[in-house]
Structure 1
Amino acid sequence: MPNFSHSIEVSKPPSEVFPWLLEQDKVPQWTSDLERYDVDGPLGVGTRVTQKLTVAGGIALDMEITEYSPPSGAATAFETNGVKVTSAYILAENGGGTRLTQTLDAQASGFTAKMLIPIVQGRLEGKLKEDLERLKGLLEG
């Protein structure tokens, strides 16, 4: 999967946007198809996060926080069905507000995984864009 990136402009400073990206009480408010979101311990590098999504009959993603630099960025990684996925959030101050960019990179390790990526890519990119727009709406409410 080619690297995917989507940015939004939010009228709040990075310090007010950053907590919404990983905190257990905030993520479910803006993430579609999310059934459960559990954080195993205090947020930081190495913390495990489990997301249970209702798509495709229910998917549980066991993620690890691989970068945690409030309020400028965070990253997570997980592997599912032979695909290693890394996702990053980059926050940049922008005239009193924030430019929030989410990137996603998926690397397939086998033939089946390589065949699966084009099938889910468009839907996943659409979901991520919609989720970021929902987050913007919540923050600017």
Structure 2
Amino acid sequence: MPRFAHTLSVSAPPSVIFAIVDDFTLTPQWLSRCTGIEKLDAGVNDVGTQLKYHYADGRRTGSMDGEVIAREPDRHFAMKFTDKMMDVTVDFVAASDGVGTTLTHSIDIGTKGFGKVFTPLIKRDLPKQTMDAMTKLKTMAEARATR
């Protein structure tokens, strides 16, 4: 099962980072493969909120069913997505470091069925994709923190 975690320092408070991650309309701005996340339940995001993740991977597009599996404002946010080829858990943990935030983003991908064929490619590409997303998220958070 491919897994990757990346930690970086962000010159913004945890509340700013959490607000970006918690706002699904912003996700395509920092996560390049994401074309949108639909929230299928009304109200604020909470554990159990049902989601539909839409993505483009080269010429291939698709969607995954998902849900929020952890939500502690300004500290922890996690989602799980699934389709016939994979189960993906996306996790963010933020902690104030006195100056800004130490942010850890981890992704666990369980391949299944035909998806197992892609395991070597996922293992190869996951670190760069995760670090690129984190860099964009950091840039967004720091820009918002200076407003």
Q: TM-score, normalised by structure 1?
A: 0.87
Alignment of 1:51-130 (within 5 A): 51-56=53-58, 57-110=60-113, 112-130=114-132
Gap change, CA 1:108 and 1:27, over 3 Å in 2? closer
Q: Indicate the percent of aligned positions where both proteins have the same amino acid.
A: 27
Q: Deviations over 1:52-111 (max 9, x none)?
A: 11114112122111111111101111222342221211111112311111111123344x
What is the number of equivalent residue pairs in this alignment?
140
In the other structure, the counterpart of 2:47 is 45
Q: Please provide the CA RMSD for this pair.
A: 1.8
Secondary structure in structure 1 of the residue aligned to 2:108: strand
Gap change, CA 1:78 and 1:24, over 3 Å in 2? closer
Residue 24 of structure 1 deviates from its aligned partner by 2.5
Secondary structure in structure 2 of the residue aligned to 1:135: helix
* Structure 2 unmatched ranges of 5 or more: none
Q: Deviations over 1:118-141 (max 9, x none)?
A: 122322332221011011112223
1:139 equivalent in alignment to 2:145: no
* Structure 1 unmatched ranges of 5 or more: none
Secondary structure in structure 1 of the residue aligned to 2:66: strand
Task: Find the aligned partners of 1:105 and 1:126 in 2 and give their Cα distance.
Answer: 14
Gap change, CA 1:5 and 1:97, over 3 Å in 2? same
Secondary structure in structure 2 of the residue aligned to 1:25: helix
Task: Find the aligned partners of 2:32 and 2:73 in 1 and give their Cα distance.
Answer: 24
Task: Find the aligned partners of 1:113 and 1:33 in 2 and give their Cα distance.
Answer: 17
